[in-house]
Structure 1
Amino acid sequence: MTMASIWQTLANRLDRVQETGGSIDFWLRDDDAVEPTAALHRLLDLTDRFSVPVSLAVIPAHTDERLSRCLAGRPHVDVAVHGWSHQNHAPVTEKRQELGGHRSREMVAADLRAGWARLRALYPTAMVPLLVPPWNRIDPGLVAGLHEIGFRALSVFGPEEGAKSAALRVPGLQLINAHVDVMDWHGTRGCRPYGEILRDIDSRLDEIEKGGGTVGILTHHLVHDESVWEFLSGLFDVTASHAACRWRRVADLIDR
C-alpha cells in the first residue's frame, strides 16, 4: 500500500462519517515534557502550523522556568500533571509504576499535591486539572482522592469502557484516555508501521460510532524518529481541514 493510498483510506472513512452527519473529536497527548529541546520545538511548530492543540504531560520534579518561558507564547498548549518525578517504585517483577500501591496513599498523595502546586506556579494559565500517570498506570485505590487535590480528569491508555477503566471511574473525575500510540515500544522503538496506526484509529472510530468518545493520539516527542514526524504531518494534513474532524483542547473536553 502506498503512502497516498494509506492517507486516502483515512480520508474515505472520514468522508463516510461526514455523510452520516457525524463528527469526530481528536486530541493529542504528548508525554514526558521537561524542558525546551529541539524535538519539543519541532512538535510545537508542527501543531501550531496545523492549528492542532497539544496537551503536554509535564514531569513536575524536573521542569522549571525554561519550559514555562518557552510555552508562554503558545496558546494552543495545555499542561497536564505527569505524576511527580516519573520514578519507578515497583519491584523488578512488576511493570513500572510511580503511582502504584507500593507506597502509602499518603506518600503518593503528597507527591501529587507537590506536582499540582509546582505546575500551577510555573504554568498558571496553561495548566489543566488533568493527571497523566507515568507509564499510564495508577492504583485504583488512589483515584478516589484525586478530586480532593484538584484533579477533574484522569488520562491513561486504552478505551474508557471495560473492566479496567471501570476501576478508575469515580464521581467528579472524568476519564479522558489516549487510544492510539505511534511508538513501537517493544520493537524498533521508532514509529510503528503507518498501516497499523491507522488500523488502530479505524478501530477507535468503530468504538466511537457505537458509544461516543474521542480519538486520543499519544506521542513522546523526545524519542520520535523521522518517521513519526512524517506520520504526524500526514495525519494532521488529512484531519485538520476535514469537515468531520475537530482537534480539541483537553481543557475543552474536561469542561464538556
Structure 2
Amino acid sequence: MKAASIWQPLIDRLDRCEAAGKTFDFWLRDDDAVEPTAALNRLLELADRFTVPATLAVIPAGTDERLSHYLAGRGDIGVAVHGWSHRNHAPMGEKSQELGAHRPREVVLGELSAGYTRLRALYPSAFVPLLVPPWNRIDAGLIAGLPPIGFTALSVFGPETGGKPHRTFAHPELTIINTHVDVIDWHGARGCRDHEEIVDDIVRRLDQSGGGGGATGILTHHLVHDESVWAFLEKLFEISAPHPACRWRKIADLINR
C-alpha cells in the first residue's frame, strides 16, 4: 500500500468530523525524559514546527537543572511525574512494575510524594499534577493515596471508560487521561510499528471517542525512536495539525476541562 493511501482513512475520518461540525482532541505524551538529548531536541523541534504541545513524563530521581534550564520559557511543554526512579520492583516472571504492591504502600507513596515535590520545584511553570506510572502500571491500592499528595490526574494506556483502567482507577478526585496509540513495537523489533496499523488504531480510537469526546493520546518514547517513528510522527502532525477537525491540546487544558 502506498504511503498516501495508508493515511487516507485518517484524512477521511477528520473530513467527516469537520462536515459534522465537530472536532477531535489529540495529545502527545512522551515518556522517560531525564536530560536534554539530541532525540528530545528532535522531538520538540518537530512538535514545535507543527505547533503540537508535548507532555513529557519526567523521571524525578534522574532529572536535574539541565533539563529544567532547557525547557525554561516553553509554554508548549507540560511536565508530568513518571514514577520516581523507573525501577522495576516486580519479581522475575511478572510484568515490570515500579508502583505495584511489592513494597509497603507508604514507601511507594512516599517516593511519589518526593517525585511530585522535586518536579514541581524544578519545573515551576511546566509542571502538571499528572502521574504517569512507569510501564503504565499502578496497583489499585495506591489510587486513594494520590490526591493527598497533590495529584489531580492519572495517565496509563487504554480506554478511560468501559475498560479495566476506568474500573480500577476511578476516583472522584482524579481525572483519567490515558494514551491510546503507541508507536513502538515493544514485543517485536522495538522499532516503529507498521504505519498502516498505527493509523488504523488512531481511526479506531476516533470512532470510539466520537467528535467532542475524550482526547486521543499518542504515546512516544524519544530515546528509542528509529527513523520510521520520526517519519510517522512528521506525517501525523502534517495531516492533523492544520486540519479544522483536529486540536492538539496541552495536558493542562485537558486536566482542567
Question: Equivalent residues in 2 for 1:37-56 (5 A)?
Answer: 37-56=37-56
The CA deviation at 1:163 is 4.5
Counterpart residue number, 1:183: 184
Counterpart residue number, 1:154: 154
- Relative distance call for 1:211 and 1:41 in structure 2 (3 A) is closer
- Structure 1 unaligned spans of 5+: none
Between the aligned partners of 2:28 and 2:13, the Cα distance in structure 1 is 20
Q: TM-score, normalised by structure 1?
A: 0.98
Q: TM-score, normalised by structure 2?
A: 0.98
- Relative distance call for 1:210 and 1:70 in structure 2 (3 A) is closer
Between the aligned partners of 1:79 and 1:129, the Cα distance in structure 2 is 9
Counterpart residue number, 2:239: 238
Counterpart residue number, 2:35: 35
The CA deviation at 1:9 is 2.6
The CA deviation at 1:249 is 0.5
Report how many residues are paired: 256
Describe the SS at the equivalent of 2:203.
helix
User: Which range is displaced more, 72-81 or 61-70?
Assistant: 72-81
Q: CA RMSD in A?
A: 1.1
- The one-letter amino acid paired with 1:245 is C
Between the aligned partners of 2:16 and 2:212, the Cα distance in structure 1 is 17
The CA deviation at 1:188 is 1.2
The CA deviation at 1:8 is 2.8
| CA offsets 1:92-144 (integer angstroms, 9 cap, x no match) | 12101000000111000100010001101100110000000000000011001
Counterpart residue number, 1:24: 24
| CA offsets 1:38-83 (integer angstroms, 9 cap, x no match) | 0000001000110000000000000000000110132211000000
Instruction: Percent identity, please.
Output: 68
The CA deviation at 1:6 is 1.7
- The one-letter amino acid paired with 2:30 is D
Describe the SS at the equivalent of 1:207.
helix
Between the aligned partners of 1:6 and 1:245, the Cα distance in structure 2 is 19
The CA deviation at 1:210 is 8.7
Describe the SS at the equivalent of 2:169.
coil
Between the aligned partners of 2:163 and 2:6, the Cα distance in structure 1 is 33
Moved over 4 A (4+): none
Between the aligned partners of 1:210 and 1:105, the Cα distance in structure 2 is 40
Between the aligned partners of 2:239 and 2:58, the Cα distance in structure 1 is 28
| CA offsets 1:195-253 (integer angstroms, 9 cap, x no match) | 00011001101111299211100000000000000000000000000000000001000
- The one-letter amino acid paired with 1:55 is T
- Structure 2 unaligned spans of 5+: none
Between the aligned partners of 1:211 and 1:4, the Cα distance in structure 2 is 27
Between the aligned partners of 2:212 and 2:103, the Cα distance in structure 1 is 36
Describe the SS at the equivalent of 1:144.
helix
- The one-letter amino acid paired with 1:250 is I
Counterpart residue number, 1:251: 252
